[in-house]
Structures are given as structure tokens and as C-alpha cells.
Amino acid sequence: MNTTEPARTTANERLAKAVFAVLALASVLAGLGIYLLQERLGIDEDTARLIATAFLVVGIGDTLLLYLWDRLFKRGG
């Protein structure tokens, strides 16, 4: 039973990393989309820049989490 625990943890870890990678990409694309489509959306340029920057910061945060994942969640073995 102990032999399946590390495999399950590894699969869950890969899934979590994939979710954060998708969230990072989606955040950057959403920010870019809002900035490029600001006129069609009826958003002021300064507001669109602020929203795009916020999405970019979230994407950078998700990416940093991926790079620091192993340090944050060390395995006990």
C-alpha cells in the first residue's frame, strides 16, 4: 500500500502543476485580449492597461509558483 502513495502523489503533483501552467497562460492571454480589444469592449485605455497588468502579474505569480513548487512542497523522504 505504501508503494502506491508516491505514485499517486506524483500524479496529483503533475496535475496541480499543469493546472497552474494553464492558469498562467490563460491569465496572460486574458490580459492581452482585454488590452487589444479595449475599444470593442468599451474600456478606457488606462483601465485596460491596469486590468492587463493585473492579469500579467497573476500569470507571473503562477509561473513563479511552478518554479518554486519543489522548494515549497518538499517531500518527507
Ordered by start, the domain boundaries in the chain are 17-72
Provide the pLDDT for residue 13.
87
Instruction: Find the DSSP H helices in the chain.
Output: 4-36, 38-41, 45-72
Q: Give SS3 for 57.
A: helix
Instruction: Indicate if the pLDDT at residue 75 is higher than 70.
Output: no
Per-residue CA distances from 51 to 24, 35, 59, 61, 68 (Å): 15, 8, 12, 15, 26
pLDDT tens digit string along 15-27?
988 999 999 999 9
Mean pLDDT of the chain: 87
Instruction: Indicate if the pLDDT at residue 6 is higher than 80.
Output: no
pLDDT tens digit string along 40-51?
999 999 999 999
